[in-house]
Amino acid sequence: MVMTDKHRIRTDPCLISFWLIGSLLVVLIILAAATVVIPELLHPGHLLAVGMDSGVINAIAITFAAGFVAVMILMVLGTPLAYVLARGKSRWNRVIETIVDLPLALPHTVAGLMVYLLFMMRGPIGMLFYEAGIVFEDAFLGIVAAMIFVSIPYYVDAVREGITQVPERLEYVARTLGATQYQAVRTITLPLSVRPILSGAFLAWGRAIGEFAAIIMIAYFPMVVSTLIYQQFTTGGLAESRSIAFIMLVTCFVVFLVFRLISHQWGRNHDRT
């Protein structure tokens, strides 16, 4: 009897043991989500009332909008940086990569303090904008600035790895056919890196909308979801904050699931071509 590869994989003791070990992390996430989801489903009236509150709707809208703006700016500024880090041969590349990854290791309060000192009205950047009538403190732009800072490594690292997978010889061939370096990058490298670019952008967006400490350091108002949950937890109790958390949890799950399905399907079609 011939055992198919698919059946062999399913019955592989090594794979099964890995599933059992790794599933502990999945169970942890499911249990944590259940502590929010189950109580809310038992009280749909209260959940609906919280979900229809204008403050909650505004906080969600501001969170998603600020995250979108932050990612758009990251794509404009981070893509060229990722390309240089992927293709550059300078000995300083490792230093730049380390600097880019700093927000990953910094405590969020430290990141928030750095953003505040940089963008406050007396800060090096904030002062220049303040003279032009643009303020970051307790403003939408302050939220965007904090989101960008903490999301930089997520986007740049993902795009850098994606560009690294594109053979550099394709650019050389394009150059021999008369294309400039910019044209080779624009018509060959970037189109072949669309998948990691989108993946990096989505990861950066997820990181951005989940930020809390860095945001409240510079912009407690207007409130984003994380700030609103914290305020409701300290003033209104567990029930209010849990309802908002449920709404955000379901929303993020749906958004991430849709993105994964679309990305997977797009990747299969892209691989065929």
Domains in the chain, ordered, with CATH?
A: 43-272 (1.10.3720.10)
Taking residues 73-93, what's their average pLDDT? 94
Per-residue pLDDT at 90:
85
**pLDDT of 6 strictly over 60:** no
Residues 6+ apart with CB under 8 A from 232: 240, 241, 244
CA angle, 135 then 201 then 144, to 5°: 10
Q: What is the pTM of this model?
A: 0.91
Per-residue pLDDT at 179:
92
**pLDDT of 136 strictly over 90:** yes
Grade residue 88 by pLDDT with cuts at 50, 70 and 90: confident
Q: Each residue of 109-129: pLDDT tens digit?
A: 999 999 999 999 999 999 999
Per the CB < 8 A criterion, the answer to whether 190 and 197 are in contact is yes
Per-residue pLDDT at 13:
85
